[in-house]
Structure 1
């Protein structure tokens, strides 16, 4: 127990957040070579997308790790003992219960959306149904990203497709995924 507490004191609150989804770790897994920790789902998704590299430092990840990552049980145990502040209401919550708290925290929901889940990144499809990740199109009716600030001081956004406004980041993502998922629109990528 004393060893565990002394090991726990070397952790900071940031160590309990996944570098991929930016949320409190859910089922943490650790890479063997570089010792980086991720949510299991984030890590497996990154492995499907990028192949053989750590999503954080691009270090090598073994084939066995990619298929069955090792759980960071030491970190899970520490998350059960230590508390952190909610990002929005500053209430002290045990880290392993933080995601559950986010589901009922009104301030968190106003800022980030209704629930604390890993975002669903959608891949657009062309008119034939082929997936496009970074295709570019040069069209004259391209919408620009627009950010405003609400009276509460939080940034709000306008949907570039239907012009509905006053969305938080998460609510804009949810809105586009539920209302415009299959809508085909020209896209210009700034990453050429």
Structure 2
């Protein structure tokens, strides 16, 4: 117990916020070389954008990490014991419950709306040449996405793992976190990362008629 208390007191509130999306960490993962911590989703998105570098310090990231980053389980455990203040109502909340609190905090909703932060990434010059090669296919996918929207203007998706359908973007994310978080999915290593990403997007998209 004393060791856990000592570990908890060595952290500050900033340690529980993702440097990419600036939100409380969700499914935190840690890089092996530089030990920086990010939300798993933010890290994987950054890897698709910037390739082989840590999103924070530009340190090297292995190919294995880019596909399957190591979860920061020690930090997750600390987040279950360490409380912080809501940025809007100042209520003390355990960090692992903070995102859930935001959904019901009226002051947070008034200030930020629904918490669905989309990170803004700065693409390095090293990755510009790679992104140019995929520019045409990305443009085609964007046009298809815009055409395949429901009459209400909101697209729906199906889960690429279990084929359950009619999810909104947020509900699909919640569904995968609840039902497939620890599911091991085979990866075709013959395909590059961009192709795998585009394939997953195409498989998950479904028109809501």
- TM-score w.r.t. the length of structure 1 is 0.62
Q: Structure 1 pair 166/18, CA: closer, same or farther in 2 (3 Å)?
A: same
Q: Is the alpha carbon distance of 1:108 and 1:156 closer, same or farther for their aligned partners in structure 2, counting shifts above 3 Å?
A: farther
Which structure has the greater CA radius of gyration?
1
Superposed CA offset, 1:28-55 (max 9, x none):
0000111100000000000011000000
Q: Pick which of 129-138 and 114-123 moved more.
A: 129-138
Give the whole-Å Cα distance in 2 for the aligned partners of 1:53 and 1:10: 27
**Is 2:31–2:54's contact at 8 Å kept on the other side of the alignment?**
yes
Stretches of structure 1 that go unaligned for 5 or more consecutive residues are: none
Residues 124-165 of structure 1 show CA distances to partners (whole Å, capped at 9, x for unaligned) of: 999999999999999999999999999999999999999999
Which runs of 4 or more aligned residues in structure 1 lie more than 2 Å from their structure 2 counterparts after TM superposition?
A: 114-186, 189-192
1:167 offset after TM fit, Å? 27
Contact kept, 8 Å, 2:18 with 2:38, in 1: the verdict is: yes
Number of aligned residues: 190
What are structure 2's unaligned runs of at least 5 residues? Answer: 187-205
Hey, which of these two has a bigger chunk of helix by percent?
Answer: 2
Please state how far the C-alpha of 1:2 moved relative to its aligned partner.
2.1
Aligned to 2:208: 191
SS at match of 1:111: helix
Per-residue deviation, residues 93-127 of structure 1 (Å, max 9, x unmatched): 00000000001111111111123544599999999
User: How far does residue 172 in structure 1 lie from its aligned partner after superposition?
Assistant: 23
8 Å contact from structure 1 (residues 111, 169) kept in 2: no
Give the Å deviation of 1:5. 1.8
Query: 1:157-179, CA deviations, whole angstroms, 9 ceiling, x for partnerless residues?
Result: 99999999999999999999999
Tell which deviates more after alignment, 177-186 or 122-131.
177-186
Describe the SS at the equivalent of 1:78.
helix
Further displaced range: 175-184 or 134-143:
175-184
> Separation in 1 of the partners of 2:79 and 2:163?
42
Contact in 2 for aligned 1:27/1:40 (Cα 8 Å): yes
Which stretch shows the higher mean deviation, 135-144 or 74-83?
Answer: 135-144
Residues 8 and 81 of structure 2 are in contact (CA less than 8 Å); yes or no, is this contact kept in structure 1?
no
* Greater Cα offset, 42-51 or 124-133: 124-133
Corresponding residue of 1:132: 132
Using a 3 Å threshold, how does the CA distance of structure 1 residues 125 and 87 change in structure 2: closer, same or farther?
A: same
Structure 1 residues 168 and 78, CA gap change in structure 2 (3 angstroms): same
